[in-house]
Amino acid sequence: MFEGFSDETIDFLWDLRFNNERPWFNAHKETYQRTLWEPFRALAGEVYDAFTAAHPKELLNLRVSRIYRDARRLFGRGPYKDHLWFSISLDPHEMDGRPVFWFELNPERYLFGLGAYSPHPELMERFRQELDGRPRSFVTLANRLARQERFTLGGEEYARKKGEARPPLDAWYNRRNIDIFCSREPDALLKSPALKDEVLEGFEFLYPYYSYFSRLADRI
C-alpha cells in the first residue's frame, strides 16, 4: 500500500545525482529499495488499478521505469537515473505520439500529466486541420484548461509557424508535440497517501484530452 514518500527519498535522489557510480549505489541499495522503489511501484500500481477500473473499455498498460541506464546510451553519464517515472498508455513500448498519462519524481520536483511525444507529423497535421475546420470541437477543451491552475500546456513549438489560430486555440496550434503537466516541488502531499488521489483526480481531468487525441490517432 502506498503511504507516501519521505525526506529520505529526496535525500537519496540528491545523493545519487552526485555519487552516480556503482560502488556508492550498491552500498545504498537497501535505501533505494525501501525509500524509492517500493513506494514508487506501489503508487504506480494503485493509480493504474484505480484508473483502469474507472475506464474498463480502455486497453491501457502500465510501464514503470528502471533506475538503471541503458549501458549503450550512457554518453558520459553515470549508470543510474536520478529520477523514476511511470506511464499509462495503450502501448507502453511505443511512444509514437499517442497520448500517455505519466508521473515522474526527481530530486527537484514531482510532475504528472498527459503527453503526446514524438508524434507522427500526420497526427499534428490532422490536429491543425481539426482546429481549422471544426474549431468548436476543441474550443471547450482549450477553455477548460485555461480556466484551471493545476495543469500547464507545454510541448515544443515549430520554429516556423504552420499557421494562425484565434484564442484560445492559438496556444495549441503550432505545437510539434503536446504536454499538459503539473509540476510541484516536494511538499507535504508528496509524503502522504493522498498523493495517489491527487494523481488520479488529475488523470481524470485529463481524460477528455486523452480521448480527443486518441480519436485523431485512430484516424491516421
Distance CA 183, CA 91 (A): 25
Domain 7-218: which CATH number of 3.30.160, 3.40.50, 3.40.30, 3.30.930: 3.30.930
Give Cβ neighbours of residue 122 (< 8 Å, ≥ 6 apart): 220
What distances in angstroms separate CA 47 from CA 22, 51, 101, 187, one per listed residue?
A: 31, 6, 11, 19
Q: Which residue blocks in 19-158 are alpha helix, DSSP H?
A: 22-27, 29-32, 38-54, 121-133, 136-146
pLDDT, averaged per 10 consecutive residues of the chain (220 residues), comes to 98 97 96 98 98 96 91 71 95 70 98 88 91 95 98 94 94 95 98 98 98 88
pLDDT digits (tens, 9 = 90+) for 145-173: 999 999 999 999 999 999 999 999 999 99
Please say whether the beta carbons of 181 and 152 come within 8 A: yes
Distance CA 10, CA 34 (A): 12
Whole-prediction pTM: 0.94
pLDDT digits (tens, 9 = 90+) for 84-106: 999 999 875 555 578 999 999 99
The closest of 91, 110, 104, 115 to 175, measured between CA atoms, is 115
Domain boundaries, the chain: 7-218
Q: What is the pLDDT of residue 93?
A: 56
Beta bridge partners of 157: 175
Give Cβ neighbours of residue 172 (< 8 Å, ≥ 6 apart): 127, 131, 138, 142, 153, 165, 178
